[in-house]
Amino acid sequence: MSTLKLTLIQSHLYWEDKGANLTLLEQKILGLEAPTEIVILPEMFNTGFSMQPEVHAETMDGPSVQWMRRIAMEQKIVLTGSLMIQEEGHYYNRLIWMLPNGEYGHYDKRHLFAFGGEDQHYRSGNKRLIASVKGWKINLQICYDLRFPVWSRQAANNEYDVLIYVANWPEKRSHAWKTLLVARAIENQAFVVGVNRVGLDGNHIAHSGNSMIVGPLGEVLYHCADQESVFQITLEREELDHSRAQFPFWKDADFFTIQSI
């Protein structure tokens, strides 16, 4: 319970080519230099940020989810990232939290990126997913959710310890990405992890990565831009507990509820 081992995979993605992306990411996972407990992939890791779910979406029994299950079970890891899923006649940008025993949880992106037309193709989710690993509570969110602090706001009883964002965040707005990751860590007194892609997508939009890990007081523990990267880190529970005890800002937080829409 005292530590949590994470692996962040910042990768380029082949546009709408599932086979190439799954092969690439599997090679990176199999090549890890040290044991890990959680491997984090970018948003829509098997296609890139595509607005063609009618062509590329899969069911929860589809090959990409089966790939996640196989990798998680073989490598004895938690594997997470988002992909487009079809369910009951609707499409979702869905984060899968795949466990080493083959079971999973999921989170459907709450805030759809209307500027890019995402709201025209996908249905919004209305429930958060807070997972648990070794006593660590992990809040799982997707890309554009980062701009909406109420959705990630920590409850007064510190309901989570790590906040993870998987993303396809464009280079031209990288300053906002970096700034908001730090802000989310400071205001929630939690570790914040942002995993983004690099390279051009099929719409010629550039992505610079800028994947980051931020400590509970806003200190940047890791940052990588403009290149592919596989980074492993061990988070220390003692650091989190100490910061919350030394600076118990959470005791002064506002109480509120979020209504589903």
Whether 224 is catalytic is: no
> What does the pLDDT look like over 119-157, one tens digit per residue?
999 999 999 999 999 999 999 999 999 999 999 999 878
Mean pLDDT of the chain, nearest integer = 96
Sequence-distant contacts of 14-19: CB under 8 A, at least 24 apart: 14/48, 15/47, 15/48, 15/50, 15/201, 15/202, 16/47, 16/48, 16/50, 16/52, 16/55, 16/56, 16/202, 17/47, 18/46, 18/47, 18/56, 18/63, 18/64
The residue from 18, 37, 118, 143 that is catalytic is 143
Whether 127 is catalytic is: no
Q: Which two tokens stand for residue 121?
A: 């193709």
CATH of domain 3-251: 3.60.110.10
> What does the pLDDT look like over 22-44, one tens digit per residue?
999 999 999 999 999 999 999 99
The residue from 43, 58, 118, 171 that is catalytic is 43
Whether 134 is catalytic is: no
Confidence of residue 211 (pLDDT cuts 50, 70, 90): very high
- 258 SS3 class: coil
The residue from 37, 58, 109, 171 that is catalytic is 109
